[in-house]
Amino acid sequence: MGLNDSSPGAMRNGRGLSDQWADSVVVRPRTTERHITVHKRLVLGFALSILTLIIVTAVAVVLSIRFEECGGRDRDGGAGESGSRGAGGSARLNGSRGERNGDKADEETVQPWRNSRLPGSVRPRHYDLRLAVYMDNFTFSGEVSIELECINATRFIVLHADRLEVRWPTQRFLTVPAAPGFMRIHRHFPFPANQMYVVVLHRELKPMRLYRLNVSFDAAIEDELLGFFRSSYTLQRERRYLAVTQFSPIHARKAFPCFDEPVYKATFSLTLRHDPQYTSLSNMPVESGSLSDEDGWVTNHFARTPRMSTYYLAWAVCNFTYRETQTDSGVTIRLYARPDAISSGAGDYALHITKRLLGFYQDYFKVQYSLPKLDLLAVPKHPYAAMENWGLSVFVEQKILLDADVSSSSYQMELTMVVVHEICHQWFGDLVTPVWWEDVWLKEGFAHFFEYVGTDFLFPKWNMEKQRFLTDVLHEVMLLDGLSSSHPISQEVEQATDIDRVFDWIAYKKASLCGLICCCCCCCFQDYLLSHMYSNAARDDLWSKLSQAMRSEGRDIDIGEMMDRWTLQMGYPVVTISKNQLEQLPTHYITVSQEHFLYGQEVKINNSLQWQVPLTVAVGNTSTVCSESLIWISNRTETHRVGQMDENTWLLGNINQTGYFRVNYDLQNWKLLIQQLHTNPQIISVGNRAGLIDDAFNLARAGYLPQGIPLQLIGYLPEETSFLPWHAASRALYQLDKLLDRTDEYSLFSDYVLKQVASRYHQMGWPTNGPGTEGNVLQASYQTEELQRELIMLACSFGNKQCHRQAVAYISDWISSNKNRIPPNIRDIVYCTGVSLMDEDVWEFIWMKFHSSNAVSEKKILLEALTCSDNTFLLNRLLNLSLTSDLVPEQDVIDVIIHVGRNPQGRNLAWKYFREKWDVLNARYGEALFMNSKLVSGVTEFLNTERELNELKEFIQSSGVGAGPALPRALEIVEGNVRWHRLHRRQFYQWLRKPPSSALG
């Protein structure tokens, strides 16, 4: 829903001005005062008039107070709010029952607080926020003075507040700056349904005038990961506490009354008062600090921020230490963390790459970083991997602290990409912010794309942008986007509860493909950022800049028209390419058709969806590949001319999978491609080999292809020497493993996988910790390390005896020598394999090491290893400990439940535990968008029987409220699992029992 049409800059259908109001609004000049000569009698009359006015006003005030004391009922029957009691009154915002009924007709008909969006009649220009933080009892009190600009005449000030005890020291509303005076507040009340607070004035505010609203409040420092929340850690057996903010997307209102929508940008001046044993941080540097003579407390005044949205304001109160560096342009970078983590150097890596990244992005975007400093804060728990608050980015410890001696290259890569993502947000998100949450992908999509661009800059040999982007982004998001429960990248958001839906991998990963398009012309990035810096942007602003860039290069392409098909429609197409079947056309013509790809393809939800598809096509044979050609597909079926073909020529579409769609072929073309891979796979590029594997398995999963085609396709893998095709294959095989690991004929599948893995696994061998290799995770070639790791994981997971013996030998050596000689890059595989094969003593040993380790990456894989046991008693014990004790960090509870569910021996346990503890889990993680979705999908994705499907349906019916879109999506996935068993499992196992000479046989 857009703003009210009466507001300047009102939006319709998500499109509108880059900012809600133009900054160039001209203030109406004041009329020059005249010098007037008056008669004494006129003066006397004027004085009598003033006296009469005072008496009338006094009577009116008395009547008004009497009316307010009476309460009254609103037109919906709600009880009056007792919070508007006059000077010094307070109102608790959670649990109150509604607003008072006004005594004027306009209040009965015009109630903007009933709208889910703020009315837009006033806008904040500056917040002066002063807070006192009490860490001894986890509360805080504050005062906020908000400078407001009136846009449209109104008697209502509507802003957000949630769970705050609001106190009104005065019922006067001060006008500023040139005409000192006060406006009376008629009444004020919370409206909890929309987390709003309403101030009703005695008379209207005037457009283009400035006013100041002063509010005091108290609140608790919560223990729920949102708003201003608390966390803790242990140092030398002493429990220490810290408090930090997490305001995105709509939780600034939990910390202070504010206009908590992205478009209401303002500047902020923050003052924090706290016990001197703590350090306080915020977006800007400390401008001045003082020590109170009375109580010894510290008061820090932070510098004024640039214009920004409320959800990027941040502060923290902690007793962390830091290390710092400085960029060539003078920006100070500090990393704050637990004192023991800082002294061990665990933050040095992130600090080093942040310095390089700030310089990289400034050069790439040609826009300077806007603040004088950037702090990175590592906290023990957080609802997300990280949050990009401007100048104070907050990370969960596991995503920023690197213990070089024990961390794998995979862990380092993941950490690197999280840091790269958050630093990119300092431009895309902080500097230029989406107008509204429906376009959250404008920041998240770019930041996710630049995870790969920025990591390529840091480590060119990793080849992230050209290779891992394919398997980690494209392949993963297409799994979600192929469901009928998917949604467009840009979707309408009205209620606060709807915001949950836009924070998922569709917004992050599918939207990152837009970055690919924009990278065609880097100059559009600079133009886009400079045009909207310190302001807001909608999707059409981006398309406009990109179209201009295209036209400047002589390409007249309407980017908006093309991209609306991809951003305003859910899903993606499957493009089917066939050689010409019509005798009247020569053999160099192909027929191309498109349809909406769905895993449940027999359940079509919308047959009208079409896309503008940029299809690249190449033709080849056993010895050569012709140059590719680009074809634009706009209709359901089209015929196009390509190179000359004969019966031995194969077609290959979507070269290197640069397009967001799947490609299918006629069966004869699949046969030719399979033959090519088996005889000379190098003719087809690495990216295309990976793409063929991913498309084939998913087309078969959805019923577009016979089950034998992908199985015969990967028969060439013993000759595959590149990581990327193996990575694509392993992802597909693990998807099948979820479906089959509890079936009677599972050994047919596992034996087939081991047959493909064996020769390459034995050739690659195991990594070693030779002299000089400890602590250097970049020593070996990254691609070689990752391929070796992939093969070991496949071999151990599917039961290779030699792999099992090696893992057990490593664990036994560790126990006997008390020295861990297991190479860091494969520790998670070895730990899990050892726990699953060995006795209870090994489980207890790993449990002990989990508690004694201080390295966050090591603790993570030790805890996950405990979920690999075949002993259901131990798995039950771990589940109960995770939720009912302090032995498992709160941040890791969800991962424990999910990993128990991934264990075939623990699947029923995790599923039962999830249902029994749903109320507790949902209360703890429900508002943390990603955590709740991760929990639901992680526990349910392995369910694949009719009984489990019925249990899920019953659970949704009885307890589904509060899980947002996660449960409907989970239901569709489980229905798809059950459907695959019903329709395809028999054919799949028939092929494995006796593979025909051809996959098409």
d(CA 670, CA 650): 8
> Distance between the two ends of the chain, CA-based, in angstroms?
55
Residue identified by tokens 């007249």 is: 556
d(CA 234, CA 219): 26
CA-based nearest residue to 166, from 215, 222, 133, 127: 215
Per the CB < 8 A criterion, the answer to whether 113 and 123 are in contact is: no
d(CA 727, CA 694): 10
Close Cβ partners of 442 (under 8 Å, ≥ 6 residues apart): 428, 434, 511, 537, 538, 539, 542
d(CA 888, CA 863): 9
Strands 373-379 and 332-337, by their bridges, are: parallel
Q: How many helices (H) and strands (E) does the chain have?
A: 31, 30
**Alpha helices for 90-212 (secondary structure H):** 105-109
Residue identified by tokens 């949102």 is: 226
Q: CA-CA distances (angstroms) from residue 562 to 512, 519, 538, 595?
A: 16, 16, 16, 17
- Burial class of residue 221, CB neighbours in 10 A (0-12, 13-18, 19+): buried
Q: CA-CA distances (angstroms) from residue 250 to 438, 536, 741?
A: 14, 17, 42
CA-based nearest residue to 216, from 89, 86, 85, 82: 89
Q: What is the largest distance, in Å, between two alpha-carbon atoms of the chain? A: 117
d(CA 858, CA 843): 16
Residues in the chain, total: 1001
Phi, psi values for residue 513, rounded to 5°: -65, -25
Answer left, alpha or beta for residue 4, where phi above 0 means left and psi between -120 and 50 means alpha: beta
425 is in an annotated binding site: yes
Token pair of 325, please?
């560096």
d(CA 319, CA 228): 16
d(CA 462, CA 786): 10
Per the CB < 8 A criterion, the answer to whether 357 and 419 are in contact is: yes
SS3 category, 878: helix
421 is in an annotated binding site: yes
864 is catalytic: no
**Alpha helices for 818-892 (secondary structure H):** 827-837, 840-852, 856-866, 872-884
H or E segment and range at residue 451: helix 441-458
Residue in 99, 149, 388, 422 annotated catalytic: 422
Instruction: Count the Cβ atoms, other than its own, within 10 Å of residue 198.
Output: 22
Per the CB < 8 A criterion, the answer to whether 439 and 14 are in contact is: yes
Angle value at C-alpha 772, between 766 and 774, nearest 5 degrees:
60
d(CA 440, CA 437): 5
Q: What residue type is 894 in one-letter code?
A: I
**Alpha helices for 553-685 (secondary structure H):** 559-567, 667-679
Phi, psi values for residue 986, rounded to 5°: -60, -45
Per the CB < 8 A criterion, the answer to whether 123 and 21 are in contact is: yes
Per the CB < 8 A criterion, the answer to whether 297 and 274 are in contact is: yes
984 is in an annotated binding site: no
Radius of gyration (C-alpha) of the chain in whole angstroms: 31
d(CA 4, CA 32): 35
H or E segment and range at residue 912: helix 907-916
User: Which residues are known binding-site members?
Assistant: 421, 425, 444
Residue numbers annotated as active site: 422
List residues forming the annotated binding site for Zn(2+). Answer: 421, 425, 444
